[in-house]
Structure 1
Amino acid sequence: MVTQPPHVLAIASAGGHWVQLRRLSPAWAGCRVTYVSTDPQLRSGVLGDKRDAAEVRFFAVKDANRWQKLRLMVSLVQIIWILLRTRPDVVITTGAAPGLFALHLAAIMGKRTAWIDSIANAETLSLSGQMAGGRCDLWLTQWENLAEPDGPSYSGSVI
């Protein structure tokens, strides 16, 4: 019987969150990878740079923040559809809202989840990062001073 490599869903908002997520890509070399972000133009960079992934896909979702309720709902529906369609084994995110949605939904589905809070949040965790903590298997901060026994862990250098 041939087993498929693990399927990683890597999701982040465009900008700094996306840059940090892409820096993590060597960690899932050899895996099937589905990338999700809020900027459809990022597709060409992902599909043109397959690295050592067994399979690479990309989906774009609606960009939204906490003040754009309707757009958040559209993004949520898109993420539900992507999770049901792709059935990942693990969801990894560096934030923000789309990553939080995917993380919570994946946890409900019994999938492994990881949140790596943005390097930009040196004084406090991001709002999404605070909300992610109770639902993820691995919760990391990139700042040692933000690590707490019941909060995110700090595991070394920043990405």
Structure 2
Amino acid sequence: MKDKKICFVSSSGGHLEQIKQLKEVASQYECFYVVTRTKATEAMKNKKYIVSDLVRTNKFLSVIRMLKMMGEQLRIFLKEKPDVIITTGAAVAIPMCIIGKLFRKKVVYIESFARINTPNKTGKLIYKFADLFIIQWKELDDYYPNAIYGGWIY
């Protein structure tokens, strides 16, 4: 099954820990990671690209930073040519998911395990165009009526 390539994209911390739980998927396909810079991501042995993250200081700077992120991730996308993008968020995942959809690739979003009763902003945006949207808590059914309940990732 190595004929498909997967891009795993996430911010650091809990989002990355959840992506790492997908070892079985990662072992079946060629894959790479798009992550933000931390000690943990720098130490990762997997094929990875370290990219900018969104800094929410003000709206104008956030837009500029998002455009920078889009450019960085577009270059990675064109180099790697993934078939599927899988993410648990957060904001760093938005550009790659948008780029993936523009190139007609599959986008899979897994709403964060930490989101039990309310959705996050990234999830609400990507829900609008994801090919597969997975929730880890039944309580989110009201926010994401077309989502698949997948249970806990851990």
TM-score of Structure 1 vs Structure 2, range by shorter chain: 0.7 to 0.9
Q: Structure 2: which amino acid aligns with 1:61?
A: V
2:105 is aligned to 111
1:52 is aligned to none
1:101 is aligned to 95
- The number of residue pairs the alignment matches comes to 148
Give the whole-Å Cα distance in 1 for the aligned partners of 2:145 and 2:138.
14
Superimposed CA distance per residue, residues 48-100 of structure 1 (whole angstroms, 9 cap, x where no aligned partner): xxxxxxxxx21011011454333222111111111111100100000011212
Give the whole-Å Cα distance in 1 for the aligned partners of 2:65 and 2:29.
31
User: Do 1:89 and 1:112's aligned partners in 2 also have CA atoms closer than 8 Å?
Assistant: yes
* 2:41 aligned with 1:46: no
Q: Which runs of 5+ in 1 are unaligned?
A: 48-56
RMSD: 1.9
Give the whole-Å Cα distance in 2 for the aligned partners of 1:72 and 1:154.
30
1:122 is aligned to 116
Change (3 A) 1:131 1:65: farther
Give the whole-Å Cα distance in 1 for the aligned partners of 2:45 and 2:101.
25
Q: Which runs of 5+ in 2 are unaligned?
A: none
2:35 is aligned to 37
TM-superposed CA distance for 1:126, in Å, is 0.6
TM-score by length of 2: 0.86
* 2:20 aligned with 1:22: yes
What SS class does the counterpart of residue 81 from structure 1 fall into?
A: helix
